[in-house]
A and B are shown apart, each in its own frame.
Chain A
């Protein structure tokens, strides 16, 4: 995570937690992640080797917390996440976010080789759609906006299709608007480009 992202995150937190408290939260989150067996699907160190399951390592803490609340409240419908999110307290949700954010980010072990033409087309689309405004130019995210660079390509494509088809909403409707009208082929190009970042 770049310094700028850290500073932005701290600037928006109300109020910022001291570093020691962040460390405690991450340690509690690690224990809870082990207890709830998050690694079985998301990978022991948060790098997913399973198609359709996102990597979590290095993800934005605030994004993780928001998504866990949406799962817990029944506002984001992913059956596999129902049991793991059930009964989490707000503190536990934040602890899990803090933990995941400390794991070193890496692409999945089964990442596909680069396809030059898909990469180029995907980069052009990402530029037109201004992905880098909210996700930042390196696509590492900020606050509630997720780190998407190096995410699983299959998961990225599935997610963009779900946003396009209004099967998924974030904490607002921004992504639904961004991907409105994209073809499956265009989404595949964007997913390839982002996965290769």
Chain B
């Protein structure tokens, strides 16, 4: 018997055991998490998440020249050659640590004056998107894994301390990658996204922003009903937490809006899965009403994927920029006309309850061709007041400066 005739016989045997057609249809109906909730009118849509690029983009092919900024600002290529570069955290010695998703690496970028050297600090991790620095230690948060690299500046190749068991994070991969930052209270904050596009889930376990003591003890929920926040920061002078949030897909090109939230009361529910965007009641989740939840501070556009957001605390930029929030919009996939692929600035009103959104960094989206050249993913204010912007698509970090 040849190998393929053996295969055919196995197939025939398997076929004779196949299930009835009703059970078959039911079993086959489970869509991937990103495709859940797709309505009949979008059944034939060919929209799908964009591929990550896992190889280095040579410096001469990075779209620096396409970047547009308000007058007086300029962009330079600060570091490159880091496929998948996403979230950034700055160490006390000035080293910038960079998390990734698919490629499983954490990079370290050392500023050597006129140039930067980059190295792979950790690898083979499952979506190590979260990076945060406290008391000389680098914390790396992957899906269900927390590592602490002590005295990282002095011991750049030290083995990490495993904190995974102490944090006991959920194991779901979808929306399981973390944004992480230390708050002004010295606690480690991170998001826990929903393991679906839209679904019924344990609201004490997912769609959260949580905080922990740095050793993983003392878990507290700071916000419920936040579908997936991959960027947050504390408003200077107030210690109030603001978080970007990615709303659900497959509810149409214009609905719902992605949002910026203000977490003024710890533990408050911000609406998901019932209410999203601009008071949009999800027709599939009507158990609670939009009026029950605090309204978002700002609308950031449907499907634009706002990720990293930080308040501007420097003095290099003009006075008007101080206290504004910069938000990196990674760019849409679930929208026929692509949008985002930029950085916007949000100006808050005095009590911080409402924000006005203005463009800041653009030029990476070609609306005529409906294509993109880069994907801004995180922003980081440097001590000199320059703003770093990571571009996951090109494995690069841009430095934005201002000068007359």
Give the B-binding residues of A (Cβ under 8 A). Answer: 11-12, 14-15, 51, 62, 65-66, 69-70, 73-75, 90-91, 93-94, 110-112, 115, 117-118, 121, 125, 128-130, 133-134, 143-145, 153-154, 169, 171-178, 180-186, 188-189, 192
Contact = CB atoms under 8 A, between A and B. Distances in A.
Interface of B: 2-5, 7-8, 10-12, 14-15, 17-19, 24-25, 27-35, 43-46, 48-57, 61, 63, 83, 102-105, 123-124, 173-174, 369-374, 393-394
A144 B173 CA distance: 20
7 contacts: A11-B369, A94-B55, A133-B45, A154-B7, A171-B54, A172-B34, A178-B31
B18 A174 contact: no
A51 B44 CA distance: 34
Contacts of A134: 46, 48
A93 B103 CA distance: 14
B33 A115 contact: no
B7 A133 contact: no
Contact of B15 (A62, A118, A128, A153): A118
B57 to A, nearest CB: 7
Contacts of B15: 117-118, 121, 185, 188-189
7 shortest interchain CB distances as A-B pairs: A177-B32, A144-B51, A90-B55, A185-B14, A185-B18, A69-B54, A181-B27
Contact of B28 (A11, A94, A112, A125): A125
A173 B51 contact: no
A185 B12 CA distance: 9
* Interface of A (DSSP majority class): helix
Contacts of B102: 75, 171-172
B374 A182 contact: no
Given A153-B7, A154-B7, A185 B124 contact: no
Given A73-B104, A117-B15, A184-B14, A93 B27 contact: no
B390 to A, nearest CB: 15
A192 B11 contact: yes
Contact of A14 (B25, B57, B124): B57
Contact of A128 (B25, B49, B52, B104): B25
A5 to B, nearest CB: 12
B11 A14 contact: no
A133 B5 CA distance: 32
Nearest to A90: B55
A28 B46 CA distance: 34
A65 B54 contact: yes
B374 A128 contact: no
Contacts of A182: 27-28
A14 B104 contact: no
B124 A176 contact: no
B8 A133 contact: no
